[in-house]
């Protein structure tokens, strides 16, 4: 039944909804871990005779499962737009976290004492409650821009919950699988934090800004954005010899990857050098834009990572930014007080001409204004990404007579 339900849900999920779907599924892992742990304790013949490894496994599965459940539900709400993506900034945030953590550890001491059934269930119930509130509070205190990291952290948590269950149920296979998931999630979290110049402890505890944020007031960049139209953009693409396309979450939402692929195909057939630049945290979960482009049939050999392509922007005639914002924000370099200061970004502004396709001039998911929009070599092409890509594809085909 569970497999059928999973298949039913999975086949109906749009690629743009994958991040929140993954978060929702993580909550199910947490529920299963906590329920199995408490159930194992309740069904033990004599709870006072359980060994320390078994008791520790029950306690850890309960706590990690509870944190994973509530944290995943909050992440789902933020990613799906059901909750405000802004971080909850309670003045006593750290004190609340420490209090809940201490209470959770205190109940752990009781569980490790091999208590009788009633006392043990009460302790596990308390641990379930306090750790659940802790998971909710910590995730609610994390801003929407850090949700890609939160997804990988929760993935790691779910693995460690499974690992604890494996010890509890004496199932080596479950322990091994859980350890694999936990370690891979932790490794991916480290990669994501490095890509965003974030400190993992700061992210988990709801920290603000990157490791390089100076703490002063952010620069207020002044200027006006220059608008352009489809016809002028088609002309620029036709005259360019080298083009780099930087896709973002906006492209995924608009489902504009298919007409974009047609335009790229036409340009390449005309002898143009066209490549895609992918930031490690583009979209709202790791690899989302890579999957999106692969789904449309974009050749993998023209899709390059940030480290591979960043030095090529000064030699590029036209950069087309589609639905990306924070990952191309020059404030990360120009403003030491910016919330994203020090975050590695794609240096699109170094190209000869930049065309930014967005619905509006609003800030990105991190809520930081982007000075690239008002640079002299940047033009804004506002509108729906799919509609605009279709017009560009049509215009490029007409230009080259194909």
Active site members: 249, 284, 365
CB 161 within 8 A of CB 64: yes
Spatial neighbors of 8 by CB under 8 A, at least 6 apart, are none
CB 176 within 8 A of CB 48: no
Helix (H) or strand (E) holding 265: helix 257-269
H helices of 80-199, in order, are 93-112, 117-140, 147-169, 172-196
SS3 169: helix
How far is Cα 238 from Cα 207, in angstroms, rounded to an integer? 46
Return the half-sphere exposure (C-beta side, CA atoms, 13 A cut-off) of residue 153: 25
Return the half-sphere exposure (C-beta side, CA atoms, 13 A cut-off) of residue 402: 13
DSSP label at residue 207: -
């Amino acid at each position: 039944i569970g497999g059928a339900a999973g298949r039913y849900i999975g086949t109906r999920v749009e690629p743009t909804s994958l991040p929140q779907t993954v978060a929702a599924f993580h909550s199910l892992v947490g529920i299963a871990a906590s329920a199995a742990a408490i159930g194992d304790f309740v069904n033990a013949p004599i709870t006072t005779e359980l060994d320390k490894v078994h008791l520790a496994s029950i306690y850890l599965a309960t706590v990690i499962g509870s944190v994973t459940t509530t944290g995943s539900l909050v992440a789902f709400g933020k990613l799906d737009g059901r909750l405000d993506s802004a971080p909850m900034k309670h003045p006593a945030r750290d004190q609340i976290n420490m209090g809940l953590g201490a209470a959770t550890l205190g109940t752990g001491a009781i569980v490790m004492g091999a208590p009788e059934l009633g006392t043990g269930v009460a302790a596990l119930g308390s641990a379930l409650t306090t750790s659940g509130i802790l998971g909710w509070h910590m995730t609610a205190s994390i801003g929407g821009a850090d949700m890609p990291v939160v997804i990988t952290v929760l993935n790691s948590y779910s693995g460690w919950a499974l690992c604890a269950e494996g010890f509890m149920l004496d199932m080596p296979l479950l322990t091994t699988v859980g350890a694999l998931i936990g370690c891979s999630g932790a490794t991916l979290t480290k990669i994501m934090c490095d890509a965003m110049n974030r400190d993992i402890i700061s992210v988990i505890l709801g920290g603000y800004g990157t490791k390089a944020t100076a703490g002063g007031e952010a620069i207020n960049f002044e200027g006006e954005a220059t608008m352009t139209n489809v016809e002028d953009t088609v002309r620029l693409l036709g005259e360019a010899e080298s083009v780099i396309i930087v896709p973002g979450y906006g492209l995924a939402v608009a489902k504009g990857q298919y007409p974009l692929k047609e335009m790229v195909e036409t340009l390449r057939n005309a002898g143009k050098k066209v490549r895609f630049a992918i930031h490690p945290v583009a979209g709202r979960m790791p690899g989302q834009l890579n999957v999106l482009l692969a789904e449309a049939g974009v050749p993998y050999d023209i899709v390059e990572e940030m480290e591979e392509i960043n030095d090529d922007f000064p030699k590029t005639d036209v950069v087309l930014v589609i639905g990306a914002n924070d990952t191309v924000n020059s404030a990360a370099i120009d403003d030491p007080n910016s919330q994203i200061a020090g975050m590695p970004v794609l240096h699109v502004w170094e190209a000869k001409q930049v065309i930014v396709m967005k619905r509006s001039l609003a800030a990105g998911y991190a809520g930081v204004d982007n000075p690239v929009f008002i640079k002299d070599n940047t033009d804004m092409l506002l509108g729906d990404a799919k509609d605009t890509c279709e017009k560009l594809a049509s215009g490029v085909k007409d230009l080259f007579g194909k």
